[in-house]
Amino acid sequence: MTEVLAPAAPAVALTRSGRPRIQRRALHGVLLLDKPLGLSSNDALQKAKWLLRAEKAGHTGTLDPLATGLLPLCFGAATKFSQLSLEADKRYLATLALGIRTSTGDAEGEVLERRDADGITREQIAAACAAFTGEIEQIPPMHSALKHEGKALYEYARQGVEIERQPRRVTIHEIAIVEMHAATVTLDVRCSKGTYIRTLAEDIGTRLGCGASLGALRRTGSGVLSLQGAVTLAQIEALPDAARASLLQTPDCLLAAQPEIRLSAAEAARFLSGQRRRVAAPDAGAVRVYGPEPRAFLGSAHITAGELIADRLLTPPEVAALLAAPESES
């Protein structure tokens, strides 16, 4: 992995009253966090930001407290491209409790109904999953962070208030059965952003005729990113302060699926100033752009009629920080 940071400052300074004060630093990169159970996405972000002493950070879309797994965190210049991960397809391991319906659709809620699901076969589950593969409509659950008049739906649900929700179109690319044990089944789900996996679990249970709820959920992928190389908060905390920033991947990992354009030093300088450049490349809706040095990531752009047009650019100091970082070992 690559360490991308400004000149190091002492880890701890003292305030006028003599109390220790954390010295923040400018970091530029992406941390692949394996979020623990029970922690909100924002709490996980704040904890990681504190451990890395980072000045600027943001996450790329929420992951429910009851879910674990991949939560990409963007630092510094990488925050300019966080929308790419937010908009990307997702991948989950979802464990369904067959025959159990709950008030929230997951293991946290009150059990509303129990039905015998011992006779459900693998073939029946495969057929039910196939019925929800492709473009489908989902009604967002009441126990979700979706806002209504400025308030999250789960807040209304806790007050016993039911809000009418409009169906949303999402795409389920693939559902594969990973394993079955008694009345539980684990599914590998590849889907578009905005898919409610607990709703999918309930719909599959309804299709099977026995009901179901979501027993556990783990996100394993977001766009081009996966759990490979992901770290836990405990692993970060176990490292000495000087080694923690080396866990960051460079910002362009978020754009790994896009074609690469490399410019000369003179052309790179003009591109960074926002000027359009002529390139011998076909039209493309999105490309990642580099200077002549291997790690001189400049930003994102698109190509129209032979012109390279900037979309999001790094600043010269951010590019310099990337070039000054040690070579990646990953």
Write out the two tokens for 64.
Answer: 């429910």
Would residue 64 show up in a list of annotated catalytic residues for this protein?
A: yes
To 5 degrees, how large is the angle CA 142–CA 143–CA 144?
95
Amino acid at 171: T
In DSSP notation, 15-75 reads -TTS-EEE--B-B-EEEEEEEPTT--HHHHHHHHHHHHTBSSEEESS---TTEEEEEEEEE
User: How many other CB atoms are there within 10 angstroms of residue 97's CB atom?
Assistant: 23
Identity of the residue numbered 238: A
Task: Give the pair of three-digit tokens for residue 322.
Answer: 């990337």
Among candidate residues 64, 106, 203, 252, the one labeled active-site is 64
Under a CB-based contact definition with an 8 Å cutoff, are residues 203 and 172 in contact?
Answer: no
Quickly tell me which residue has 């992406």 as its tokens: 30
Q: Give CA angle at 225 (268, 38), nearest 5°.
A: 130
**Active-site amino acid positions:** 64
